[in-house]
Amino acid sequence: MKSRIPSLLAASLLACAGVNADNDDWPHYGRDAGGTRYSPLEQIDASNLHRLEIAWQFRTGELGQGAEDADSLTFEATPVLRDGALYFSTAFGTAFAIDAATGEELWRFESGVPRDIDYAEVVSRGVSVWHDPAREAGAACATRVYLGNIAGSLYAIDASTGEACREFGDGGFVDLRRDARPRELGQYTITSPPAVAGDRIIVGSAIGDNGSVRVERGIVRALDARSGQVLWTWDPIPVDSKDPAYATWEAGAEVAGGANAWPPLSVDVEHGLVYVPTGTPSPDFYGGERAGDNAYANSLVALSVKSGEVVWHRQLVHHDLWDYDLPAQPMLVDLTKDGRRYAAVVQTTKTGMVFVFDRLTGKPIWPIEERPVPQGGVAGEKLSPTQPFSSLPPLVSHAAITEEDAYGWFWFDTRGCRK
């Protein structure tokens, strides 16, 4: 769904001390490959929060100039910090490097996203950075920035100069629309930064999946970080009858598309696993052409980094009819429950429920209950008789919405909402 939130154009750094590049790096979207978003820094706390001042501001200049989708423009990028430079991107595929201490622009890279077409999504959540241990520091493309754009391409950029790494793919980029059953340009997009796993770049996609049954396939790919060669692909819609998930698609597995992974992925470097949160098969709100639970869709899936094979999977919404994609990066944490230590993966959902699994086996650490849910639906539809519910308290109320919950700025807004 397209957001109409106005674009945020300024990236700001709040500080009460200088930047220390030795230990302050934020080298991944979620700081580490497991998306913990935890910083060990201690300079800023409750005692000095009131002293924070704006150290600098940087404006990208991106206003959607000349773009058909300018009114959908947003700024959602989380900058990554490496060796004193911040790297980030804009919705129309411009990557930036700026000095983290001063806000001075070091370089910008234009990926050439066409502006005269309608895109399924107009957003970029950022870039990824990878250092090649086989190259000397300062060598061309020794450190690379990977930028996915809404035209469906993945670029490799020299982190020092902002120039394309020409040995990567087709002169610096790989067209990821290839082999995904593409329709018109703009319906298969890359909106989240790819995951970095050793010398592999693993990337999903965002797809315009509301319009029809037959849309692009939500393929996840692993690419060689140096050459851009595709090392393996995984399709969340099983077409091999030998796949155990195939039987959960009573009709339409070969026709349906989507079930794509548009949020950031997470990597367990030690155990060689990548965690993929998938979404709804197409179309979002009607499943008459894809009867069954539709396994691998709306699921947390652990894949082997080496081979792309499914190690385990847990479906969190059966036969989704509500666009309940898994919308967040899985978080890899170590936790203790009942005196036992677990390597865990935590997944939040659009239902407001939190699910926690052993990240090696997929076994729930907090129990999951299959509960009967309301039936009915439109003609031709076949709803799932049950849905999984986490035993953890939900983050939002699951009470039925009534007229008393209607809200508006003025009385006539409230009345219209109640109608």
| Residues forming the active site | 323
Which of 138, 120, 122, 56 lies closest to 89, judged by CA? 122
* Whole-Å CA distances, 120 to 1, 220, 339: 8, 18, 47
Q: Letter for the amino acid at 272?
A: G
Kindly give, in sequence order, each residue whose CB lies less than 8 Å from that of residue 139, ignoring residues fewer than 6 positions away: none
Peptide bond into 283 cis (omega under 30): yes
* Whole-Å CA distances, 383 to 209, 320, 370: 20, 9, 14
Kindly give, in sequence order, each residue whose CB lies less than 8 Å from that of residue 401, ignoring residues fewer than 6 positions away: none
DSSP letter string over 334-373? EEEETTEEEEEEEEE-TTS-EEEEETTT--BSS-EEEEE-
CA distance 159 to 139: 11
CA distance 287 to 296: 15
Answer for the pair 325, 298: CB distance below 8 angstroms, yes or no.
Answer: yes
DSSP state, residue 101: T
CA distance 312 to 300: 9
